[in-house]
Amino acid sequence: MAIDWAKNPLVPVAAQDYDSKEALMIAYADKQAYDLTLKTGFAHYFSRSRNRIWKKGEQSGNTQKIVDVLCDCDQDSLLYIVEQKGAACHTGHKSCFFTKAANGEIIDERIADPAKLYGVVDRLYHTILERKKADPNLSYVASLFIGGENAILKKVTEEAGELILSVKDRDKEQIVREAADLLFHTLIALASKEIAPDLIRAELTRREGISGVVEKSLRKR
């Protein structure tokens, strides 16, 4: 029994801890990610937000060593049984399932400091995603999402203008603060379209070594 990849090009994958039997996370895989998982012995997934294959733990080091891979009865989802190294969740929790749906109660403690697992931009982006549906009276991010696209883009425009003025004033401390504000609001705009910072890094990597003149000319083709 195997996945019909022609019929199901992207399938959900549940990861389960081999020792504790704890449900760790849910992600997705395409055939290439699945093949890499079997070939390397470590869990690989396909990120819809980053639009690429990723190895679990590629940034944090918290890899998932494959013990077994199971297919469900309908042949449209997978279960990775894994030896989890460290935290499975980007928040630093062992499992992504640590919040009671009924009342939001946190039912276990972090086992790792997320600040040591990911860069500040990635952590900030995830925090923005988490606060999209928060109480807008308590969360500035949520209030912008309630205001919609115009509210989000208005703040990006305002912060860009303030950065320009601070550069004109040649105030280095103010430039740093305004640049941080612009990056923060740009991440909110990206989150509104579910575009992860990793895609921006990938685009910058693609442009590396290409002159600006050549790169712009290629866009017009």
185 belongs to a structural domain: yes
Domain that holds residue 190: 120-208
89 belongs to a structural domain: yes
CB 142 within 8 A of CB 132: yes
Residues 66, 106, single domain; the answer is: yes
Domains of the chain: total: 2
Q: Determine the pLDDT at residue 40.
A: 96
From 93, 116, 139, give the residue that closes a domain. Answer: 116
CB 74 within 8 A of CB 45: no
List pLDDT tens digits, range 196-221.
Answer: 888 888 788 888 887 766 666 666 65
6 belongs to a structural domain: no
Residues 108, 61, single domain; the answer is: yes
Residues 144, 200, single domain; the answer is: yes
140 belongs to a structural domain: yes
Residues 22, 109, single domain; the answer is: yes
Report how far residue 37's alpha carbon sits from residue 43's, in angstroms, rounded to the nearest whole number: 5
Mean pLDDT of 94-107: 91
Report how far residue 100's alpha carbon sits from residue 98's, in angstroms, rounded to the nearest whole number: 7
Residue 158's domain is classified under what CATH number?
Answer: 1.10.287.1080
Residues 22, 87, single domain; the answer is: yes
Residues 124, 200, single domain; the answer is: yes
List pLDDT tens digits, range 186-201.
Answer: 999 999 998 888 888 8
- Closest residue by Cα to residue 17 from 66, 59, 77, 70: 66
160 belongs to a structural domain: yes
From 85, 116, 147, give the residue that closes a domain. Answer: 116
User: Does the pLDDT of residue 79 top 90, yes or no?
Assistant: yes
Q: Can you read off the two tokens belonging to residue 199?
A: 């895609």
Tell me the CB-side half-sphere exposure of residue 80, using CA atoms within 13 A: 31
Pairing of strands 11-17, 78-84: parallel
